[in-house]
Amino acid sequence: DIQMTQSPSSLSASVGDRVTITCRASQSISSYLNWYQQKPGKAPKLLIYAASSLQSGVPSRFSGSGSGTDFTLTISSLQPEDFATYYCQQSYSTLLTFGQGTRLEIK
Amino acid sequence: QVQLVQSGSELKKPGASVKVSCKASGYTFTSYAMNWVRQAPGQGLEWMGWINTNTGNPTYAQGFTGRFVFSLDTSVSTAYLQISSLKAEDTAVYYCARVYKDIVATINGNYYYYYMDVWGKGTTVTVSS
């Protein structure tokens, strides 16, 4: 299986900060990488697909980049509603895998 | 609107079975595959597998073979997850999620991107004696 490793595991930031979360695949996955946001007690929500395509309705402060093995999710200016856990997920293989998650907390 | 409605919370004893339902509405059920995802308390997301809603053919992730069964009733646009011989470690929230297939055509051919664009709210299964 393809292993997905996110860093950091947790992150403290302030409203207005620019934040970057990294996801690394154990082998090249081209741009078959998706990002999800999950708030406590809620289902995950798709943010970014195909590494850099913004899902409809998602604010433009979210962006994704990368290809091959290294990917990033960037939030350009943190808003109060962005404090959540973020997961990357590969779809290169028919056996999908998620990263372990990055918890974004208020500083 | 497009939505997935999951069945309610379940409390089961070890060794029992449970069947979780996921009813789709607002789209053609057989046009999109369905994923199942588990989240144990305080843990991350774990992909369990998916089912082809056209053929009914399931694919299971490692660790979800044997006691876990995906099934369908296309007449009511519903996917099911059945877990048998329940153990305490099966205590988790179980999500169904629609698989969207995006096709990007290039001069080099078509590229298929898959992602989970619609999620159910989750079903909590608690296994306790």
Subunit contact A44:B116, Cβ cutoff 8 A: yes
pLDDT at B6: 98
Dihedral angle of Cα A37, A38, A39, A40, to the nearest 10 degrees: -160
pLDDT tens string for chain B (129 positions)? 999 999 999 999 999 999 999 999 999 999 999 999 999 999 999 999 999 999 999 999 999 999 999 999 999 999 999 999 999 999 999 999 999 998 887 787 888 899 999 999 999 999 999
Which residues 19-78 on chain A approach chain B with CB closer than 8 angstroms?
31-32, 34, 36, 38, 42-46, 49-50, 55
**Average pLDDT for residues A54-60, to the nearest whole number?**
96
Find, in chain A, the residue whose alpha carbon is nearest to that of B44.
A100
Q: Amino acid identity of A106? A: I
Whether the CB of A81 is below 8 Å from some CB of chain B: the reply is no
* CB A48 within 8 Å of CB A62: yes
CA distance B97 to B10: 19
Q: Amino acid identity of A95? A: L
**Which chain B residues have a beta carbon less than 8 Å from that of A43?**
95, 119-122
Q: pLDDT tens digits for B83-104?
A: 999 999 999 999 999 999 988 8
Q: pLDDT tens digits for B113-126?
A: 999 999 999 999 99
Which among A92, A93, A37, A98 has a CA at the least distance from the CA of A64? A37
CA distance A85 to B45: 11
pLDDT at B107: 83
**Which of A45, A91, A100 shows the shortest C-beta gap to B114?**
A91
